[in-house]
Structure 1
Amino acid sequence: MAERSIVYVSKGLPKNRLYNGQEYRSAIWKEQTDELHVRMQQIDGDEVAAPEYHGGPDRVVCLYPFEHYAHWEQEFGQPLEKSAFGENVTAIGMREDAVCIGDIYQFGDAILQVSQGRYPCAKINKRNQNNQLLKKIIATGYTGYFFRVLQEGTIRPDSPIVQLSAHPAQVSVASVHHLYFHETSPDPDVLRRMLEVEELALKWRKLLLEKQQK
C-alpha cells in the first residue's frame, strides 16, 4: 500500500453557480487552504448548503483519494480541478478499499473515525460540468468518504496521517458501496456483518436496513 500522505486540504462556503443555464447553490466548490481547524460538528469556514442532506456529526471531514484523479483524467481525457469532489482532504494511500468503517486516524492533532462512504449526488456533475461523472462514480465506487471527529485539531497539508486503530470487523468503505449499489441479492451474512458495525453512520445503516428488507 502507498504511504499515506495529504496532497492538499480545502474548505468552502455555499456559493451560487450556473449549470446548463440554471442557478444552483452548493458548498461543493472548495478552495485550497493552509490549514483546517476541525471541530466536533464542522470545520471552521466550511459549511453545507443543504443541511437536510449534508453535514452533521457523522460527516464533518470528507476525504477523496488522490489516486482517482488520474483515473478520471484518463477516463475523460482532461484533468479535473483541485477539490473537484468537494472534499476537505485529498490524500494518497487512503483508497476506499483500504479503509474500513470504524478505523481511527490521526491527521495532525485531529483524531478522526471513518463513519461512512459518500452517497454521491448530481452536484458532482454540476461542479465538474460533466453529466457522466456521477454514473461513473457509482459504477467504480470512487466516492470518497467521511469522518466523524473524536478529537478536535488542526490539519495542514504537511500533517502526517497515522492510523491509530483498525476496526476488527474490517468492513471496507468500498464493500458497503458495492453491496448497496451493485448487489441485487446481497449475502444476508455479509449484510448482517455490516449492520453490526456500530460505528457505521445512521444514514447508511438505514440504507442497508432497507436493502435487507427487500
Structure 2
Amino acid sequence: MNINSAQIEGIYIGQLATIGPDKTSTGIYKVFSEQQHEVTELGLSGDIQVDKRVHGGTEKAIYHYPAEHYALFKQALPHLSDSFVPGSIGENISTHGLLDSEVHIGDTFRLGSAIVQVSQPRRPCWKINQKYGNAHIAPFIMSEAISGWYYRVLETGQLKTGDSIEFLARLDNSVPVADIWQIFMERLERKDGKEPIPKIPGLSDEWRFE
C-alpha cells in the first residue's frame, strides 16, 4: 500500500467575501491560520462555507489539496504563476506527500486529534475560474484529476498547522480519488450523465448522483 503520513503545512480559513460581476457571496478566499481549530462534523471552526452545494455539510466538511499540484498549474499557465500558491484554490488543508493518485476514497486519517474519512473529490465550480481570472482552471483540474478531496468527520477533535496527518485504514475494493474523475469524464463522453456512478466504497452518495 503506497500511502504516506504527512505534516499539515497550512490551515486556511474562509472569510466571507464576494466574487464575480453579481457580487456572489463566497468563502473561497482563505487565509492562513496558526490558531488551533475545532474539527466538528461540519468543518473547521471559523471557516465560512457559503454555497453548501459545493463546500460544507457533513460530506464536505474539510477540503484537502496537495501542494504539489500548484507546480502543474504554473507549468500550464505560466502567466498566472504568482497566483498559484497554497490556499489560493480554496483548500482548508495543504500538505506535501499525499496525492489524488495515492489517496483512496474511504481512506481514514487521524487529522490532529480528529479522525476523518475521504468522502469525495472536489468538483470545481465557476468561482475557481473567476478567482484566477481564467476559464481554463476548472477544466484543467478535471482533465488532470487534481481536484483534491473532501473529508467527512468520524470523530471530532482539534487541529493546527504543524500537526500530523496519519493514515489509519483503507476500505476493501477502494479506488484512488483520481480514478473517480476518469469514471466521471467517461460518463460525460458517453452522455450517460443521468446514470449514477457505480457504487464505490466510501464515496458520498450526493456525489454519485450529481
Distance between the aligned counterparts of 2:85 and 2:22, measured in 1?
Answer: 21
- The number of residues matched between the two structures is 199
Change (3 A) 1:72 1:53: closer
Q: Deviations over 1:66-100 (max 9, x none)?
A: 10011111211113143111110011121111111
Of 183, 186, 189 in structure 2, the residue corresponding to residue 182 of structure 1 is 186
Change (3 A) 1:103 1:26: same
For 2:68, the equivalent position in structure 1 comes to: 67
For 1:44, the equivalent position in structure 2 comes to: 45
Distance between the aligned counterparts of 2:108 and 2:128, measured in 1?
Answer: 27
Q: Deviations over 1:164-213 (max 9, x none)?
A: 10111121111111111235459xxxx98x5042x211212214xxxxxx
- The 5 A counterparts of 1:112-191 are 112-183=116-187, 184=189
Distance between the aligned counterparts of 1:36 and 1:130, measured in 2?
Answer: 33
Distance between the aligned counterparts of 2:71 and 2:88, measured in 1?
Answer: 12
Distance between the aligned counterparts of 2:53 and 2:74, measured in 1?
Answer: 32
Query: Secondary structure at the residue paired with 1:62?
Result: strand
Comparing 30-39 and 57-66, the one that deviates more: 30-39
Q: Alpha-carbon deviation of 1:3?
A: 5.7
Identity %: 27
Of 92, 96, 104 in structure 1, the residue corresponding to residue 100 of structure 2 is 96
Question: TM-score, normalised on structure 2?
Answer: 0.86
Distance between the aligned counterparts of 1:155 and 1:174, measured in 2?
Answer: 26
For 1:9, the equivalent position in structure 2 comes to: 11
Q: Deviations over 1:87-133 (max 9, x none)?
A: 10011121111111111001110110000011111111112222211
Distance between the aligned counterparts of 1:49 and 1:159, measured in 2?
Answer: 27
Runs of 4+ that moved beyond 3 A: 182-186
Distance between the aligned counterparts of 2:200 and 2:146, measured in 1?
Answer: 24
Query: Secondary structure at the residue paired with 1:116?
Result: strand
Decide whether the 8 Å contact of 2:42 with 2:57 is kept in 1.
yes
Amino acid at match of 1:101: I
Decide whether the 8 Å contact of 2:5 with 2:167 is kept in 1.
no
Query: Secondary structure at the residue paired with 1:150?
Result: strand
Query: Secondary structure at the residue paired with 2:8?
Result: strand
Query: Secondary structure at the residue paired with 1:58?
Result: helix
Alignment gaps of 5+ in structure 1? 208-214
Q: Deviations over 1:12-42 (max 9, x none)?
A: 132123x4x5523210001000133210122
Decide whether the 8 Å contact of 1:7 with 1:66 is kept in 2.
no
Query: Secondary structure at the residue paired with 2:123?
Result: coil
For 2:205, the equivalent position in structure 1 comes to: 202
Q: What is the RMSD computed on CA atoms of the aligned residues? A: 2.1
Question: TM-score, normalised on structure 1?
Answer: 0.85
Alignment gaps of 5+ in structure 2? none
For 2:110, the equivalent position in structure 1 comes to: 106
